[in-house]
Amino acid sequence: MEEFKIMIWKEDNINIRYRSLDQAEIQKLLDDISDKLNIKIYCDSFLFTKLSEILMDQVLLLNINEPDGFECFISKFNLHIPGNIPVNVIWNYDSVDCFEIDELKKFWEYIWYGASDEMCLLYFQEINFIIMLTDYGTMYYNRLCKF
């Protein structure tokens, strides 16, 4: 998690539960995505460029930067989420934070900053669903499966 976000949380007396993955966990997660999409992820630019090509379904959601932006796109995709599952937020090739979905719903405005976060991936590993968010509101998504 970027330090400026943690500082804002402290200033606003917000306690967001999350866990930053270590490099071994990140590699295992990226290998899982790579395997399901039949690609090799080896750097940031490849990660986001290639996924924007592979995740061919897309939707424009202009209120992604609003406090209820997370709830809006969850309802837009009509995701049937079984309970409070973990969601991996992949900021880049070597930075992944894991949140329970309830934390994302409650604190989205403190986690996603459209002014500084150009894009990220939300990987719902338990339901094999991935969403790539962009700061301009386009979301690329797909159910992950082997091709």
Q: Over the stretch 114-144, which tens digit does the pLDDT of each residue have?
A: 778 888 889 998 888 888 887 776 777 776 6
pLDDT score of 146: 42
Residues 53/46, Cβ–Cβ less than 8 Å: no
Residues 73/139, Cβ–Cβ less than 8 Å: yes
pLDDT score of 147: 32
Does residue 62 register a pLDDT over 60? no
Dist. CA 147–CA 144, nearest whole Å: 9
Dist. CA 37–CA 16, nearest whole Å: 31
Q: Tally the residues of the chain.
A: 147
Please name which of 112, 28, 122 lies closest in space to residue 79, comparing C-alpha atoms: 122
Does residue 34 register a pLDDT over 80? yes
More reliable by pLDDT, 41 or 108: 108
Least confident among 18-32, 43-57, 129-143: 43-57
- Band of residue 66 on the pLDDT scale cut at 50, 70, 90: low
pTM of the predicted model as reported, rounded to 2 decimal places: 0.85
Which range, 24-28, 37-41, 56-60, has the best average confidence (pLDDT)?
24-28
Instruction: Give whole-number Cα distances, 61 to 73, 126, 146, in Å.
Output: 7, 24, 28
pLDDT score of 144: 62
Dist. CA 90–CA 94, nearest whole Å: 8
**Cα-atom radius of gyration of the chain, to the nearest Å?**
14
